[in-house]
């Protein structure tokens, strides 16, 4: 019964009409050859990115590479996550929307993504000046990036590039597939440690639960199990433990890296009967003053 209700909660958001999010504009329209342009978004509501478009003037035949890079934090670099090349012929078209076509890429809350397009020839792109942290329906716009063509494996996402490129995202709400529960402790390392999921928990696929912004080079513990996090936490180590009632709950020890990062790789069997199964996780950073992260509530999806 519980699994049926959970599955229903997962499906209900998908019944809503898909949502279109537009950023940028046509105030400035420079041209550049052999380059890539993208927007950096910090996601606070999990969605499926159905497709995205870039407003460009492509004067002739061209191969556009639509690329997505991902980072579990807003700092440093984002790593290549998805790419798709689309051949177009802009001869006589003028400025127009160019689409990735259907892609179905999850954008998971707590992560930062670069959504961009690169090209070899001379292409005109469009942007307006925007402020870092500008809200959008699923999070915030953080900054712009410029890359080479083809895009590199890592893209820097720190800095103050205020060019908000004219871009249109079509998303399908799916917050139930991965959502935060509670908030982390204040953080003995100077900032709260967070727990994020790299992807939705999809049958037959790998994903990871990632501990970020924790105290560096410190013992830590992932707790992972089947169930739904509690609505009221249990006080523990001066923090909030949300996995009360999640059983079985397994403790997996680890050590954070020099950047305060640790990862728990996971794989979901290719069994359709697992769709709708609730999973939960939380992590503890076991320094001189222990910290607990937020919890994650996840549902297995197709």
| Domain spans of the chain, in order of start | 16-173, 176-301
Q: Environment class of residue 153 by beta-carbon count within 10 Å: exposed (0-12), middle (13-18) or buried (19+)?
A: exposed
Using CA of residue 302, residue 265, residue 85, residue 34, what is the dihedral sign? positive
Rounded distance between C-alpha atoms, residue 42 and residue 34, angstroms = 27
Point out the least confidently predicted range of 207-211, 241-245, 247-251, 262-266: 247-251
Rounded mean pLDDT, 72-85: 96
The pLDDT value given to residue 1: 41
Which candidate, 296, 88, 119, places its Cα nearest to that of 193?
296
Same fold, 16-173 and 176-301: no
**Between residues 187 and 247, which one has the greater pLDDT?**
247
pLDDT tens track for 131-176: 999 999 999 999 999 999 999 999 999 999 999 999 999 999 987 8
CATH 2.60.120, applies to 16-173 = yes
Instruction: Give percent of the chain above pLDDT 90.
Output: 88
pLDDT tens track for 258-297: 999 999 999 999 999 999 999 999 999 999 889 999 999 9
The residues facing 49 across adjacent strands are 105, 171
CATH superfamily of 176-301: Macroglobulin (MG2) domain (2.60.40.1930)
| Parallel, antiparallel or unpaired: strands 61-71 and 47-57 | unpaired
Provide the whole-model pTM.
Answer: 0.92
């Amino acid at each position: 019964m519980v699994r049926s209700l959970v599955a229903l909660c997962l499906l209900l958001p998908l019944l809503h009409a898909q949502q279109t999010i537009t950023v940028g504009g046509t105030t400035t329209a420079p041209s550049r050859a052999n380059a890539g342009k993208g927007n950096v978004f910090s996601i606070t509501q999990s969605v499926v990115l159905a497709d995205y478009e870039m407003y460009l003037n492509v004067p002739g035949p061209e191969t556009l590479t639509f690329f997505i890079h991902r980072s579990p934090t807003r700092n440093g670099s984002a790593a290549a996550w998805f790419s798709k090349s689309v051949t177009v012929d802009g001869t006589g078209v003028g400025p127009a929307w160019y689409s990735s076509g259907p892609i179905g890429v999850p954008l998971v809350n707590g992560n930062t993504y670069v959504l961009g397009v690169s090209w070899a020839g001379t292409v005109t792109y469009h942007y307006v000046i925007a402020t870092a942290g500008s809200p959008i329906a699923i999070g915030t716009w953080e900054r712009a990036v410029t890359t080479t063509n083809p895009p590199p494996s890592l893209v820097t996402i720190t800095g103050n590039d205020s060019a908000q490129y004219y871009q249109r995202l079509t998303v399908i709400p799916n917050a139930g597939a991965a959502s935060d529960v509670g908030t982390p402790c204040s953080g003995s390392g100077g900032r709260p440690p967070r727990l994020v999921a790299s992807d939705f928990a999809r049958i037959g696929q790998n994903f990871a639960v990632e501990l970020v912004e924790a105290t560096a080079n410190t013992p830590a513990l992932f707790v992972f199990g089947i169930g739904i996090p509690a609505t009221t936490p249990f006080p523990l180590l001066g923090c909030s433990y949300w996995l009360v009632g999640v059983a079985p709950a397994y403790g997996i020890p680890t050590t954070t890296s020099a950047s305060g990062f640790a990862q728990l790789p996971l794989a979901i069997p290719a069994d359709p009967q697992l769709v709708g199964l609730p999973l939960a996780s939380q992590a503890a950073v076991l320094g001189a003053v222990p910290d607990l992260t937020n919890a994650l509530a996840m549902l297995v999806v197709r």
